[in-house]
Chains A and B, each alone.
Chain A
Amino acid sequence: MTKTAAAAFAVLSLTLWVSCAKKEAGLTAGPNFQKDFQEALINAKSGAVIELPEGRLDLDRGLSLSVDNVTIRGAGIDKTILSFKNQKSGPAGLTVTSNGFTIQDLAIEDTKGDALKINGANGVTVQRVRTEWTGGPSTSNGSYGIYPVQCKNVLIEESVSIGAADAGIYVGQSSNIIVRRSRAEANVAGIEIENSQFADVYDNKSMHNTGGILVFNLPDLPVKTGGNTRVFNNQILENNTQNFGAKGSMVAKVPTGTGVIVLATNHVEVFKNTIKDNNTANVSVISYFTTGNPINDASYYPFPEAIYIHDNIISGGGTQPAGEYADALAPVAGKPLPAILFDGVVNPKKLVGKRLPDELRICLQNNGDATFMNYDAGGKFKHISRDAKPYDCSLPALSAVNLPSPAPGTPAGGN
């Protein structure tokens, strides 16, 4: 072969290779879509972008990805629809176990189990993704919509979650998290940050769920230290959908009509939110004891501490309190229930005199006319107090979450 011919051959090969790569990435709708998409997910190389066509794409089995640095991209949040209405095996819609994962511009509908589960990844970017159960609230819907668990460096933005029988946007046992400019609607829990460290939840709209935004720290999990969570600039409205969570699940205990719950989590700042018309309580701060569940986990810390709730616009709500505590409270507290409820359970070992040290207090400031009640859950409501003065304090502002840029593992030039 002459040099020229060899060069021409090399160019030709390169051209062929490039066109092949493109062809692999582009999938088309049709009866082979399930298999083609799954094969593309398996055969993807690091840095691959898998483009999905516009339209409703029917799938009957769960999909999975385990290759690092892959992007899945649709044609739009309402244009590319992965429908799992006829799902036979799964359990999730898409399960991801690899780092540097990006998913954009598509919807995942009607999965039997969770819609989008991302397990143990460093670098998760979810942009303009909708997860939805299209039949409306139902206990038979899947549990979680957008569900990163044991992940690091998580960005969820401009996304939508509707109808989850547990939590719409749920980040569990993770660290370094931003959930922003998203909408959670008609889920049991709208947005839930659980056993996670360093989370910023802002500019979201959480409405018509059972509970709007939950910051939880639960026992019996491998990652059991949650905290350093900021919830700000959100609209948390009318979360009065009858609880449809499966009994036995933690969210089944969330009273219908809850705006924000901080459960046994430390260092939480809730500020500049608009929290309106949540019919049990707009804001609730509680210890794990109030769940009624036993604590078998000696290393678990069940008390909420260093909670700073300030500069929120809080109005309405409390008019139709639901749940065991609300029922028990009703005769003594009347209606409506105050806007901010605290179960009053603190760690007796930490008390200095009669109160927590300054840096661990529950602080309420500048929440307009929002009313308050410590309902003394530990003392069976004997010493209910509506006096917010003991809580008039401030705590240092928590620092903002910074995600590495580009997110770890994101290919250069990626979004």
Chain B
Amino acid sequence: MRGGLRRARDVSLAAACLVALSACGTRGVRTHLGEPYPAKLSAWHLFVGNPAALKPNAGVIPYDLNTPLFSDYATKYRFVWMPPGTSATYSDTDAFTFPAGAILAKTFAYPDADRGGRQRIIETRLLVRGTSGWATLPYVWNREQTDATLDVAADPTTVHWVHPSGKRYNIDYVVPNTNQCKGCHDVSKTVTPIGPKARNLNKDFDYPEGRFNQLAYWTKIGYLKGAPPPAQAPKLAVWNDPASGSLDARARAYLEINCAHCHNPRGPANTTGLYLLAAQTDPMRMGFCKVPVSAGQGSGNLLFDVVGGKPEESILVHRMESVTPKIMMPELGRSVVHQEGLALIREWIAAMHGSCVARPGTL
């Protein structure tokens, strides 16, 4: 009932704005610091005009990452918004600390093979910094592409699209439920953004007013405090751009963004002792000659997570090659194999030397 009352008040506020339009000005982004959250994505006013065009409202800034998470080949659009006059605080190592009310929006879309390759937006996930931490809010777009509805436990949706290679994909796209969002966005059991870290954002981006480094741009518009000049900030390689870093740097960047949100000492997969942050220096922690602990059949009858020089003997590769729920890694957000990412990790392991010694056998 409280929710209902509050919603009613919001409506009356909105009505007041309509009556006194000159006082309120154009409709700005409307954030929410706690429940209840709007049922419709449009209520946040993140975008203006045709909803499916994702044209950002004032203060809603697009961004991207050096190396992104693979999400079944979906096209992803990322935006950040912060309440006027507030800013995030820079960190060299961790996700930036965001002010109350900040919104991170990530939209997932495909060229729809059933509609001549026209883009179909599937979902927009919001991470909203509230008074008691980050809320994870998955909004699922309607077929008409006019709006999206908050659905904390959405059903899968069938998507058809064609990969540039010509391969046609038919997948049951799984929109993560709220808990699954938390399952990845988890640092010491606290919901935390993954992407907005210095090393991911430290790259140029084409803004309407020109090409700028994202850290510098965020600083310039007041969205970021405490950042050093970009040249002094950490930077991950671009996984598929050899000009951006060595094979090792690119593979490590790929593993960090695809695996290390769980596989780090403060993440949900710390139970395994396999840590895949790019900054990890202990080879055993990165999986070299490390025997699996709780992989079960995920081990694929292989003995070690990574065997230098031998991708075909490395459990890491086996689990990237699989789409079977208990074998595949990551566990969520993927239903097809990322062939290009897999090729990178194979190449990385093949280029390494070393062997692991074990007597297969019994106790």
Contacts and interface: CB of A to CB of B under 8 A. Distances in A.
Given A293-B358, A296-B290, A89 B335 contact: yes
14 contacts: A43-B152, A89-B335, A91-B328, A95-B179, A112-B326, A143-B295, A165-B296, A221-B293, A248-B299, A248-B304, A296-B289, A296-B290, A297-B284, A326-B362
A143 B293 contact: no
A42 B360 contact: no
A166 interface: yes
A247 B299 CA distance: 7
B210 interface: no
Given A66-B179, A294-B357, A248 B291 contact: yes
A348 interface: no
Nearest to A281: B363
Given A87-B325, A323-B362, 16 more contacts: A42-B178, A89-B335, A90-B331, A140-B297, A220-B291, A221-B293, A222-B265, A246-B300, A247-B360, A248-B292, A248-B303, A248-B304, A249-B296, A249-B299, A263-B363, A292-B359
B268 interface: yes
Contacts of B297: 139-140, 143, 165, 246, 249
B182 A66 contact: yes
Nearest to A248: B299
B197 to A, nearest CB: 23
A372 to B, nearest CB: 17
Interface stretch (A152-160, A228-236, A250-258, A386-394): A250-258
B356 interface: yes
Contacts of A89: 156, 174, 325, 332, 335
A144 B293 CA distance: 12
Interface in A207-266: 218, 220-222, 243, 245-250, 253-255, 258, 261, 263
Interface centre among A91, A119, A323 (most CB of B within 10 A): A91
A202 B246 CA distance: 55
Interface residues of B, number: 54
A253 to B, nearest CB: 5
Contact of A149 (B172, B271, B303): B271
Closest 5 CB pairs of A and B: A143-B296, A323-B362, A292-B359, A248-B299, A113-B326
A42 B363 contact: no
B183 interface: yes
B325 A291 contact: no
A249 B152 contact: no
A284 interface: yes
B50 interface: no
Nearest to B326: A113
A278 to B, nearest CB: 13
Contact of A248 (B152, B265, B295, B357): B295
A39 interface: yes
A323 B78 CA distance: 55
A150 B271 contact: yes
B155 interface: yes
Contacts of A326: 362
Contacts, number: 174
A51 B271 CA distance: 30
Contact of B152 (A42, A61, A112, A258): A42
Contacts of A293: 291, 358
* Chain B interface, >50% SS class: loop
Contacts of A149: 271, 294
B361 A218 contact: no
A322 to B, nearest CB: 7
A15 to B, nearest CB: 12
A38 B362 contact: no
Interface string B259-278: 00000010010111100000
A89 B297 CA distance: 16
Contacts of A112: 324-326
Contact of B180 (A13, A64, A140): A64
Interface string B21-40: 00000000000000000000
B125 to A, nearest CB: 15
Nearest to B180: A64
A150 B270 CA distance: 9
B287 to A, nearest CB: 10
Interface string B142-162: 000000000011011000000
Contacts of B270: 150, 222
A254 B362 contact: yes
B289 A246 contact: no
Given A149-B294, A293-B358, A142 B326 contact: yes
A294 B356 contact: yes
Interface in A79-114: 87-91, 95, 97, 112-114
B293 A250 contact: yes
A286 B361 CA distance: 14
Contacts of A263: 363
Given A90-B326, A112-B326, A246-B301, A324 B153 contact: no
B300 A248 contact: yes
A74 interface: no
A172 interface: yes
Contacts of B315: 248
Contacts of A165: 296-297
A325 interface: yes
B362 A324 contact: yes
B89 interface: no
A125 to B, nearest CB: 20
Contacts of A325: 361-363
B213 interface: no
